Amino acid sequence: MIGELAALGAAICWTVSAVLYKEALLKANPLPANIVRCVYTSIVLVVCLAIIGKFGVLMDLSLHAVILTSVSGIVGLGFGDTLYMVSLKLMGIARAVPITCSYPLFNLLLAVVLAGEAVTLYVILGTVAIVLGIWLLSREEKETGTSEPQKKRLIRGVASALATAIFWSVSIAMINMAINLPETSSLDNALAINTIRVSAAAFFLLASTPITDRKCSFLKIHKKRLIALTSGGIVALAVGWFLLTFSFIHTPQSQAVPISSTTPLFATVSGIVFLHEKVAAREVVGSIMIVIGIFLIFTV
């Protein structure tokens, strides 16, 4: 039960962080925002690890675990989360979050291609449900008189969200491999692995600023938005990802991932209540279809 509760806690954390990110992204660009978020969150994680006397655990990790974790952070938090913020800025959380949370579908595709897993009827039905859900979320109301720029904005948002899901699927597969190594399957190691993951992403993003952010605009982000991004980072990366990593220790990935992927339902409600987003009935149905599809895919 503790593993399932941890996975559900991760879903709630990611919903809260999405609300904080969306508020900050109203007047901030995604890449500088992600740099700030990862850097400050990594500092918080390292300090916390030192305070609780677990800093030495970092030194005990094998090189294999460190490499898997670092690449997972660069792929998932560096590339994936930057695109996630792009999709949030373009579409809002009620649309962006459900599409990005289709990552279990891509996890499954990796398993089928790389490990030769069987494709069952549940998998086929789940795939159809997810694709239908994404289609519903990517449609515009005809009667709203959507302009060409708005249509292009929506297409970019959907493309960014789908790319996010792909990056996240690779990242989660790698972190699952790292946490299930014989020498890393403990609570202390889960803390250490999560710290390395965020720190690797922060280092990568900072090192790439001469190319990606030559004006160092991440240093000019307003204090209010800085607080929102850092708070969102702590909730999502420090707490949420730790809970998911912890759930992998106590619960099979086939159970933890679907539970953690209930974020779309919470996100739809949060978008309406906290951000006053206008959500059509088809978008609610689309979010539900994606969640149902994920559960079908992981049904044994």
Confidence at residue 189, expressed as pLDDT on a 0 to 100 scale = 82
DSSP 105-158: HHHHHHHHHHH-----HHHHHHHHHHHHHHHHHT---GGG---HHHHHHHHHHH
Residues in the chain with pLDDT values less than 50: 143
Q: What is the mean pLDDT of the chain?
A: 86
CA–CA distance, 275 with 278 (Å, rounded to integer): 9
CA–CA distance, 147 with 149 (Å, rounded to integer): 6
Confidence at residue 115, expressed as pLDDT on a 0 to 100 scale = 65
Confidence at residue 300, expressed as pLDDT on a 0 to 100 scale = 52
Which residue in the block uniquely carries the two structure tokens 């109203």? 26
Confidence at residue 185, expressed as pLDDT on a 0 to 100 scale = 64
CA–CA distance, 26 with 219 (Å, rounded to integer): 17
What would the pLDDT profile of 15-36 be if each residue is shown by its tens digit?
Answer: 999 999 998 998 889 999 999 9
CA–CA distance, 27 with 110 (Å, rounded to integer): 37
Cβ neighbours for 246, distance < 8 A, ≥ 6 positions apart: 3, 6, 187, 190
* Structural contact between residues 20 and 229, judged by C-beta atoms closer than 8 angstroms: yes
CA 76 to chain centre: 7
What would the pLDDT profile of 104-150 be if each residue is shown by its tens digit?
Answer: 888 778 777 776 767 788 888 888 999 899 888 887 665 455 567 88
Confidence at residue 162, expressed as pLDDT on a 0 to 100 scale = 95
CA–CA distance, 151 with 87 (Å, rounded to integer): 14
End-to-end alpha carbon distance in the chain? 18
Q: Which helix (H) or strand (E) holds 24?
A: helix 2-25
Record the pTM: 0.87
CA–CA distance, 120 with 299 (Å, rounded to integer): 10
